[in-house]
Structures are given as structure tokens and as C-alpha cells.
């Protein structure tokens, strides 16, 4: 009770979960976190959601890995197998750090000698700090010698980043979430922020409540945010381009274009204009399921308002036409001049607490830090000078491509730090086959994850609250996460582990801590050149781009020009490309996957957070009540959901916000892994998988 909550120490830090980047204080007693309270950070103003406030006890969970493990000889990796809940470590034996690190590095060296450097790949983590992500990509590029390095951004906003880099020259947001209070119109599309960015959603709700902001929600599901919306457009899953081109058609044909902005600040408008003429609201209404009058009203509202802002999520990005969806959103902002001012702009709501930062520091296969392309000679020369080794100029493979290459025998060895592709990758039976076929797999994590099950060596790592580092939130705000407690047993900090592997690969690294790594990052990245560690300590947070120590940082960008070669934004038209796998007679329903409020991504943390797991303890599939009736089932019954790739059983939840003909499954439950069903078809530009759409069938019965 009260005595337990009387903390010995308080440590100011941040939330380990989502990209909103709430600041918080850990209350520590007897070496354990006993309570969390919100701080007055720029993104949360003291607020926290249920994950940030109550999801703090996973680091102390009894299943933490506390010593290095090496796979016992002769134990096969079975892609269809599951962890034995009674003895999840059965396939492994304990090892000393010295032995485990030597074993890990020797395996990498053997593969380079036998198969060449491109037979190796690394997955870093968007949950680690900027310093960890920077060192991890530097290790793969300079120690392995390949650009085969990626992380879960590929499964999240890769398409947004590709479209934004092409259109406006920068992959990050133009305005912070808090700018919704300056907007007259806020468009939220393909995002469920009340669940996935809860504190950000509170600012949207506050703005609406004040009466100065109108919300337009575009989502096939009627989520809780719809209650706050002036318009909810429940468009058909997969019809994003039809919907958005219809809005552009209205703007272009009804004289709603900001002619001056288009003339001075954009290029390629004529091509867009010609293209959208074929997409009248009347023609698109039967395709997207929204009547023409509503489409016209919404287009006028967005275009005419003093300031309109667009926020979007995975519902937009995780399609084979994800890049096209975002091109349409960019075009909307450009033709109406709704960008470059407070309360306007484009905001892809970033998922993980550091997915923005991890991408910025180069944890992606085609770019060095600050998005300099690896196939650009000047960029390569810059990093060869800085890092002192020759670098490869071929863009590397992406997440799904790496798994495909492992299945095909071209990737032989991997180092996976803090990612769980056995759960998070599309078509996870295929992903597990790829992991199982590796000759050498190093996994660095907190728990025996579904991915670690396939490892040859497991390195026990540190949780967010057990280390110090910088993190960059969805608003481009850099903040410090501070160590509050020590890792258990022999678990070590990730920065130390990465360096030990690097040294064994012949790299002369001797960083004394995150501060020193941050200094090197600053010298390599003009975007954060003005952000010093001292400044972060003093000011609590600094927004990039930040060119010098006197630059306050720029929350709103693109005010004068775009960071493109011409200084103008490029408008790119898009046409309708259907989903890779449409429903048919055998698989008549659409599967939409996503997250839920209490659980985080693959569940490895939140399912071990006692309060969160108590609230949502079991896998569910949400179905419209009439569709449930159609299969003779009720809420609470067990349903079996099957696609061409796999089958899972889980409990039915009735939800009349789910469109008829679709079902929704969160992907965090290992016992009913939604990604066993999903399709690995890729967007051709961004290589993001179509996690938001595939064909399934559902029947009553099965065993959870």
C-alpha cells in the first residue's frame, strides 16, 4: 500500500512505448519502479495514457533473460514449433559473456569468409535510443560491410517516408501534434489515435471541445474518435486513392486551389490536375462507399479553412499502394497551401518511441544518417572519412526482403537487436521459416521472444528504464531517457553489447557512453548539429532541425521553402491499384490488423506488464454483430480465422464499428499471432507490406 509507494528516488525520464514521447518520472524503491507520474513535457503536458502510467513493471518480470544463452547442439529449429511454456529455455544452455560474445562474433566472421559480407543482415530497434541505433547501423555498415540493415519502420511508415522525401524533401512531420489547437480543420485518416497515440488524441479532443476545430475522421472503422468528429467517412478498406482523388477533383474543379502557393512553391501541378479530372465524387462514390455530396462538403471544408492539418497512421501506409495514398495526402496540402504555417501540414503519427530517431540516424538500408543515400558518392565519401573504413555503395535489403533472402538461402546470418520479426513480419510462418533456416542468428532482447526461439546465441539486454540515451518523438523532439534501475542478473546495456561485438569484428571502438556517441552523431548530422547533451539536460527537449546552439529548433517547417533541390514541393499524381489479395468465394472477408490500447506491438513488454495484461489478457477478433450472427456465433465464442497462409483461433468480440465483411485482429498475441494470416505483398516503392488488407474466412469453433 502507501508504504510501498513511498519512493527512495525519483528519476525524470520518458515513456518507453509510443512515438508521442510523453515525459514522465519513475518512482523507485528498493531498486524497483513502483510508480510512474507524468511530467510537463512538450508532447504531454503532464498527461499519460494507461501504458505509460501502468505498464512499468515488465523490466522486473520473472521471465527476464538474466544470462547469455547458447543453443544446445543437435536441437533443430522448427518453424512450426512453439516455445514450451513450461520450459521456454529448454533448447539453450547458459554461457559466460565472454563465450557468448566470441560465439556470436565468430559465427558472423565465418559467414563473411564462406559466403561474403552480403550474406549477413541486421535488424536494429526503434525501441532503442538514437545512440544504440546509430552504433548498430554503423556496426553493420563498417563491421559486416553491407547495407543490409533495417528495422520496423519498414512495417510502419516506410511508404510515408518515401512519398514525403519525394514530395517535400523530408521524411518527418511538418508540424507537431499540439498544433491541432491552431487548426480549424483536422483530418485524421487511417489512424486510431485514442488507442495508438492516446495522449496525442487528447489534444485533438480538447481542440474539438473548445469549438474552434472541426475533426474529419476518415477510417473504414468507426473508432471511438468518431464521436468527436464533424464528419466520419467510413470508406471501404483499400479505396483510399479513390476517396482522396475525389477530394482533389473537387478542389481542382471548384476553384478551391491556392493558385499563388501552387505557382510559387510547387511543381507538377498540371499533371495532378489532368489526372484527378477522371475522379469525380460521383464516379468514386460507388468505389469508396462515401456519397458524392459528403465528398464535396469535406473537400470544401478542408480547402477553405484558415488552417487545416492532416494526421495519418498505418491505415494509410500499410498497403501495396501506401506510397500512392501518401502522395494524395501531400497533394491535398499542396494544392490548397495548407502547409508551412501553424495548424497546417502533414503529420504521419510515428509508432514506436524512437522510430523517428532510428530512421534519422541511418537504421535503414538505403541511407546513412540524415537520409544521405548510400549510392551517392559524396555521401559515401563523407562517412568513409568519418568512420575510417571503405563503405558499400549498394542499397541494402529491407526487412521483408531480408526474410525472403533468408528463405532463399542468400542471407545466412543475422544479428537482431530488440525486434521480434517472428511476430511482427507479414506471413509469419514464412518469416519463421526464414529465421529457422539461418546458419547463425544472434538475438539481443529482454525476454525469450518468438524470434529468440530460433537463435543460436541470445544476449540478455536492458530495458528502457535501465539505460540512458536520447529518443526522438513523432514531433521531431529530441529528449533524454534516463536510467532509473539496473538490469537484472548479468543482463547488460545494449550499447555495451553492440560495442563488444564490434570489437570482435576488428573495429576499434571505445565509446565511454551515450554522450560520446551523441557527439559523433551531431558531427555527422546537420539536422541536430545545434543539439548538445548539455542543452538537452538544461532545456529538457530540443526540436530539430536545429542548426546551431543558438537555434531554438523548428517545430513548424517548410515555412519558406522545401528542402528539395528546387526548393519547391513535387506533386505526384496517383491512380487506383487494388489490394494484392481481394476477398473471393473461398476467403470472403477482409482482415484488418492493428493494435489495442493496453498492448504494445508484439506484446513482449506489455503482456508482461501486470496491469495491462490483466485488462486485456486474451486474443480477440472484432466482428460486426450481424456478421457474427451470420456464422452462428456470439461474442465470447471461439472463432477460427484462416487465410491462405495460416490459421489462428481466438475469442469473438462484437463491434458494430467494424465494417460488414471485415474483421479486426490485434497482432500482439503470440498464442494467436495475427501475422500468421497476413500477406507479404509489398508496396513497390517503399517495400512496406500490406498488413491492413488480406482475404480470410471465419468459422465458429477452434482452440485458443
Task: Retrieve residue 662's grid coordinates.
Answer: 471485415
How many residues at the interface with ligand SF4, by CB under 6 A?
14
How far is 331 from 241, CA to CA, in rounded Å? Answer: 12
Classify 28 in phi/psi space as left (phi over 0), alpha (psi -120 to 50) or beta.
beta
Question: What region, left, alpha or beta, does residue 528 occupy, with left being phi > 0 and alpha being psi -120 to 50 degrees?
Answer: alpha
Q: Which of 44, 266, 427, 499 binds ligand SF4 (CB under 6 A)?
A: 44
Which residue in 13, 21, 243, 530 binds ligand SF4 (CB under 6 A)?
Answer: 21
Measured from the CB atom, the residue of 153 and 325 that comes closer to ligand SF4 is: 153
Rounded CA separation 253/277 (Å): 8
DSSP structure class, residue 551: -
Which span (20-28, 225-233, 406-414, 620-628) binds ligand SF4, by CB under 6 A? 20-28
Considering the complex, state which of residue 142 and residue 359 has its C-beta at the smaller distance from ligand SF4.
359
Provide, rounded to whole angstroms, the least separation between the CB of residue 14 and ligand SF4. 7
Residue 448 within binding range of ligand SF4, rule CB under 6 A? no
- DSSP lists the bridge partners of residue 662 as 590
Burial 448-467 (b: 16+ CB within 10 A, else e): bbbbbbbbbbbbbbbbbbbb
Q: Is 351 in the site for ligand SF4 (CB under 6 A)?
A: no
Is 349 a residue that touches ligand SF4 (CB under 6 A)?
A: no
Instruction: Please report whether residue 595 would count as binding ligand SF4 according to CB under 6 A.
Output: no
The reply to whether 371 sits near ligand SF4 by the rule CB under 6 A is no
Q: Which residues contact 194 (CB under 8 A, 6 or more apart)?
A: 201, 223, 224, 225, 597
- 49 near ligand SF4 (CB under 6 A): yes
Nearer to ligand SF4, 22 or 358 (CB): 22
Task: Please answer whether residues 570 and 266 qualify as being in contact, where contact means their C-beta atoms are separated by less than 8 angstroms.
Answer: yes
Q: How far is the CB of 35 from ligand SF4 (least distance, A)?
A: 14
| Closer to ligand SF4 by Cβ: residue 397 or 597 | 597
Output the DSSP codes for 131-146: HHHHHHHHIIIIII-S
Binding ligand SF4 (rule: CB under 6 A), the pick from 11, 22, 172, 452 is 22
What cell was used for 573?
Answer: 499524381
Beta strands (DSSP E) in 107-230 are: 120-123, 149-150, 185-189, 214-218
- On whether the CB atoms of residues 648 and 674 are closer than 8 A, the answer is yes
Q: Does 176 bind ligand SF4 (CB under 6 A)?
A: no
The owner of cell 495548407 is 338
Nearer to ligand SF4, 51 or 541 (CB): 51
Number of Cβ within a 10 Å radius of residue 613 = 17
Of the residues 11, 28, 33, 48, which one makes contact with ligand SF4 according to CB under 6 A: 48
H-type alpha helices, 306-456: 314-317, 322-336, 355-360, 377-387, 399-407, 421-424, 428-436
CB of 616 to ligand SF4, least distance (A): 14
For the chain, give the longest Cα–Cα distance. 72
Determine, following the binding rule CB under 6 A, whether residue 603 of this chain makes contact with ligand SF4: no
- Contact between 542 and 527 under an 8 Å Cβ cutoff? The reply is no
The residue at minimum Cβ distance from ligand SF4 is: 52
Strands 69-71 and 92-94: antiparallel
Pick the closer one to ligand SF4 by CB: 199 or 363: 199
CB of 471 to ligand SF4, least distance (A): 10
Name which position in 11, 18, 204, 349 contacts ligand SF4 (CB under 6 A): 18
How far apart CA 372 and CA 444 sit, in angstroms, is 28
- Name the H helices within 425-484: 428-436
Provide the minimum distance between the beta carbon of 3 and ligand SF4 in the complex, in angstroms, as a whole number. 26
Residue among 11, 20, 299, 333 that touches ligand SF4 (CB under 6 A): 20
Q: Examine residue 313 and tell whether it contacts ligand SF4 (CB under 6 A).
A: no
Closer to ligand SF4 by Cβ: residue 53 or 382: 53
What are the angstrom distances between the C-alpha of 220 and each of 17, 51, 656, 685? 26, 26, 12, 24
| Choices 10-18, 126-134, 181-189, 655-663 (CB under 6 A): range interacting with ligand SF4 | 10-18
If binding is defined by CB under 6 A, does position 15 make contact with ligand SF4?
Answer: yes
Binding ligand SF4 by CB under 6 A: which of 27, 28, 33, 51? 51
Task: Report the site for ligand SF4 in 189-218 (rule: CB under 6 A).
Answer: 197-199
Based on CB atoms, which residue is closest to ligand SF4, 323 or 353? Answer: 353
| Residue placing its CB nearer to ligand SF4 in the complex, 235 or 312 | 312
Residue 42 interacting with ligand SF4 (CB under 6 A):
no
Stretch that binds ligand SF4, among 14-22, 264-272, 297-305, 645-653 (CB under 6 A): 14-22
Helix (H) or strand (E) run with residue 198 in it: helix 198-210
Stretch that binds ligand SF4, among 43-51, 225-233, 381-389, 653-661 (CB under 6 A): 43-51
Contacts to ligand SF4 by CB under 6 A:
15, 17-18, 20-22, 44, 48-49, 51-52, 197-199
Amino acid at each position: 500500500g502507501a508504504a510501498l509507494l513511498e519512493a527512495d528516488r525519483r528519476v525524470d525520464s520518458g515513456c518507453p512505448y509510443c512515438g508521442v514521447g510523453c515525459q514522465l518520472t519513475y518512482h523507485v524503491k528498493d531498486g524497483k519502479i513502483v510508480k510512474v507520474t507524468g511530467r510537463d513535457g512538450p508532447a504531454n503536458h503532464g498527461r499519460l495514457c494507461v501504458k505509460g502510467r501502468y505498464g512499468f513493471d515488465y523490466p522486473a518480470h520473472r521471465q527476464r533473460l538474466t544470462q547469455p544463452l547458447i543453443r544446445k547442439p543437435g536441437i533443430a529449429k522448427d518453424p512450426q514449433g512453439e516455445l514450451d511454456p513450461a520450459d521456454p529455455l529448454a533448447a539453450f544452455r547458459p554461457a559466460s559473456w565472454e563465450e557468448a560474445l566470441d560465439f556470436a562474433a565468430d559465427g558472423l566472421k565465418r559467414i563473411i569468409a564462406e559466403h561474403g559480407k552480403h550474406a549477413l543482415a541486421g535488424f536494429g530497434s526503434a525501441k532503442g535510443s538514437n545512440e544504440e541505433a546509430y552504433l548498430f547501423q554503423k556496426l553493420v555498415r563498417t563491421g559486416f560491410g553491407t547495407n543490409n540493415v533495417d528495422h520496423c519502420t519498414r512495417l510502419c511508415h516506410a511508404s510515408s517516408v518515401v512519398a514525403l522525401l519525394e514530395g517535400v524533401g523530408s521524411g518527418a512531420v511538418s508540424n507537431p501534434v499540439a498544433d491541432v489547437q491552431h487548426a480549424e480543420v483536422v483530418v485524421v485518416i487511417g489512424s486510431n489515435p485514442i488507442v495508438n497515440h492516446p495522449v496525442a488524441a487528447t489534444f485533438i479532443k480538447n481542440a474539438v471541445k473548445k469549438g474552434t476545430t472541426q475533426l474529419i475522421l476518415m477510417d473504414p472503422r468507426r473508432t471511438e474518435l468518431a464521436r468527436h468528429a464533424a464528419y466520419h467517412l467510413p470508406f471501404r478498406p483499400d479505396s483510399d486513392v479513390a476517396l482522396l482523388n475525389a477530394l482533389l477533383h473537387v478542389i481542382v474543379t471548384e476553384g478551391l486551389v491556392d493558385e499563388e502557393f501552387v505557382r510559387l512553391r510547387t511543381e507538377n501541378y498540371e499533371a495532378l490536375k489532368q489526372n484527378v479530372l477522371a475522379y469525380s465524387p460521383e464516379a468514386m462514390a460507388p468505389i469508396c462507399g462515401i456519397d458524392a455530396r459528403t465528398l464535396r462538403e469535406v473537400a470544401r471544408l478542408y480547402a477553405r479553412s484558415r488552417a487545416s492539418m492532416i494526421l495519418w497512421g498505418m491505415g494509410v501506409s500499410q498497403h501495396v499502394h501506401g506510397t500512392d495514398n501518401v502522395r494524395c495526402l501531400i497533394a491535398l496540402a499542396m494544392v490548397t497551401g495548407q502547409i508551412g504555417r501553424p495548424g497546417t501540414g502533414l503529420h504521419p503519427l510515428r509508432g514506436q518511441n524512437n522510430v523517428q530517431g532510428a530512421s534519422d540516424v541511418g537504421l535503414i538500408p538505403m541511407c546513412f544518417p540524415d537520409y544521405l543515400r548510400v549510392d551517392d558518392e559524396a555521401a559515401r565519401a563523407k562517412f568513409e572519412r568519418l568512420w575510417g573504413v571503405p563503405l558499400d555503395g549498394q542499397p541494402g535489403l529491407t526487412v521483408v526482403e531480408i526474410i525472403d533472402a533468408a528463405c532463399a538461402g542468400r542471407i545466412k546470418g543475422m544479428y537482431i537487436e530488440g525486434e521480434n520479426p517472428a511476430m511482427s513480419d507479414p506471413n509469419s510462418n514464412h518469416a519463421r521459416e526464414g529465421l529457422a533456416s539461418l546458419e547463425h542468428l544472434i538475438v539481443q532482447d529482454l525476454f525469450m521472444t518468438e524470434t529468440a526461439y530460433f537463435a543460436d546465441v541470445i544476449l540478455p539486454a536492458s530495458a528502457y528504464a535501465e539505460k540512458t540515451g536520447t529518443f526522438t518523438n513523432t514531433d521531431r523532439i529530441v529528449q533524454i531517457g534516463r536510467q532509473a534501475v539496473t538490469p537484472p542478473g548479468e543482463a547488460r546495456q545494449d550499447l555495451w553489447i553492440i560495442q563488444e561485438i564490434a570489437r570482435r569484428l576488428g573495429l576499434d571502438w571505445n565509446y565511454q557512453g551515450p554522450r560520446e556517441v551523441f557527439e559523433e552523431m551531431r558531427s555527422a548530422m546537420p539536422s541536430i548539429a545545434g543539439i548538445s547533451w548539455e542543452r538537452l539536460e538544461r532545456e529538457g527537449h530540443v526540436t530539430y532541425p536545429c542548426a546551431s546552439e543558438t537555434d531554438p529548433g523548428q517545430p513548424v517547417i517548410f515555412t519558406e521553402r522545401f528542402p528539395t533541390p528546387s526548393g519547391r514541393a513535387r506533386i505526384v499524381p496517383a491512380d487506383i491499384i487494388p489490394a494484392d489479395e481481394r476477398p473471393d468465394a473461398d476467403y470472403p472477408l477482409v482482415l484488418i490488423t492493428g493494435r489495442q490500447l493496453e498492448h504494445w506491438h508484439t506484446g513482449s513488454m506489455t503482456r508482461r506488464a501486470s496491469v495491462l495484461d490483466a485488462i486485456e489478457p486474451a486474443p480477440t477478433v472484432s466482428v460486426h454483430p450481424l456478421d457474427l450472427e451470420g456464422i452462428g456465433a456470439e461474442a465470447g465464442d471461439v472463432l477460427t480465422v484462416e487465410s491462405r497462409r495460416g490459421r489462428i483461433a481466438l475469442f469473438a468480440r462484437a463491434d458494430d464499428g467494424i465494417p460488414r465483411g471485415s474483421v479486426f485482429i490485434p497482432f500482439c498475441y503470440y498464442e494467436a499471432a495475427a501475422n500468421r494470416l497476413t500477406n507479404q505483398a509489398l508496396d513497390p516503392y517503399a517495400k512496406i507490406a500490406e498488413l491492413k488488407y488480406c482475404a480470410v474466412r471465419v468459422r465458429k469453433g477452434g482452440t485458443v
